[in-house]
A and B are shown apart, each in its own frame.
Chain A
């Protein structure tokens, strides 16, 4: 079995499919084969539809009119609704839940011809940075199976890193695409808030959530973003702006580029090796003619606190609907209506979700609203201003994606605050609604991938793809699958 096929980029796969060098069936078989070989160990999927995917591969017509993804296997994070398919958010409370409708972004990749092979594992309700809180078991990092793949889109990132699929969709609320992509040595992109419709994404924190791609290369991220972006009348917060052809227009021009380096993103808490590697990436850009300038994002340290207040507040409300009345299992024993609710939710939610629901309920409750939620939304205004001011001095900002490389399984799961600090470099962009891309630039001394993050102003997607592509070319890291043993 030529499973190396899956190490090719989407564009290469598409060309080979159209030249009949390979068939969709071979591709899906390669995907199934890797799934069977690796996923027992890494557990990146909560559901995998071998039979049905093969059937689809046999039927698909890969001619160009059938879409840029025709015949290519992809995976979805388990919080993206697809009519008739179990979508559980990695939670017992949605066990067996089959949505009656399909998310707009999922429809877009289906229409582009993709064969969705399965749903990728995630932290329960996207609440976590390690994919250790899923009701369907933890996911392991393909680069070192004793380590976490990051989270919450850890399943999507691990599946791509393991080469089970060439690309997957994830969602990013405070770093949930970028952090696992960084830990897993793949590319992750969080679009501008509103660029991609959220319709059909089971909400964690509505004002922060965005769907985005996890891929092996920057070009693939551009292609998938182009496919899933666009205005959706079903999402009031989706932007009514044309979508450029990102993929076909990648054209880096580093000569007149100014890159902002925020001191706050390189300071305390950031691993020295990570800092060195990311600073090297900056130097690589400089060598190509870019100018590096110091910028200040002074509220970075408080942003992560503001993020957790806002995200949990919204989550406590978003997750209130899981009550055992319309969907999901209901507790077997209860005394009355209130007890039915409380018992169903007690049985259905895991510890981290309960923690965040309680926190979110607290920060919105009478007497505390102003001190927490109200205050956090004001801090958010200042975070936005910080970025606006920075973008007056630079075109984009270069930072590490995460303070450290992938950490050991179990090392933080019992320490919520330490776990939350993982998002310190990614969450501020969600609060400001900005687009950001992460790509691996080098390996650390343990052989683990280390990633750089590029943050741009609203709707600067094209520039981010351009410069990330350049960095991909310049950096020592070569896009590849993790060297898992069969």
Chain B
């Protein structure tokens, strides 16, 4: 399997990465090489094998429904690129 140019720009958009044409070309080559390497997994017969998402079998970890006072949002707001009146500011998002 290989990643075609169209997919590289789709992936870049899905990943929210603006790439230069040169970067796209380089990444395309790299990804194809890496995918070839990744496909070694196909050498293993996994018929009837369940996937492992967690290395250790731990289940049912919860916290109780108790309110913990929230810290002041001030440091977070100050740490951000843009904020006003207690809000984080972003370029206008339209959904209409």
Contact = CB atoms under 8 A, between A and B. Distances in A.
Query: Is there a direct interface between A and B, measured as CB atoms under 8 Å apart in the complex?
Result: yes
A243 to B, nearest CB: 16
A324 B43 CA distance: 41
Interface string B35-75: 10111111110100111111110100101000000010001
B6 interface: no
A211 interface: no
Contacts, number: 172
A382 B30 contact: no
Contacts of B17: 342, 345-346, 349, 354, 357-358
A414 to B, nearest CB: 9
A329 B16 CA distance: 16
A417 B82 CA distance: 40
Contact of A381 (B14, B49, B92): B49
Given A377-B52, A433-B56, A337 B90 contact: yes
Contact of B40 (A100, A301, A316): A301
Interface string B1-31: 1010001100111111111000100010011
A416 B41 CA distance: 18
A308 interface: yes
Interface residues of A, number: 72
Nearest to A298: B44
B53 A193 contact: no
B51 A98 contact: no
A371 B46 CA distance: 11
Interface string A309-332: 100000010001001111111100
Nearest to A195: B56
B15 A316 contact: yes
A380 interface: yes
B95 to A, nearest CB: 11
B3 to A, nearest CB: 7
Interface of B: 1, 3, 7-8, 11-19, 23, 27, 30-31, 33-35, 37-44, 46, 49-56, 58, 61, 63, 71, 75-76, 79-82, 88, 90-93
Given A328-B81, A378-B44, A380-B51, 8 more contacts: A305-B41, A309-B38, A320-B16, A323-B16, A325-B80, A354-B23, A358-B8, A363-B38
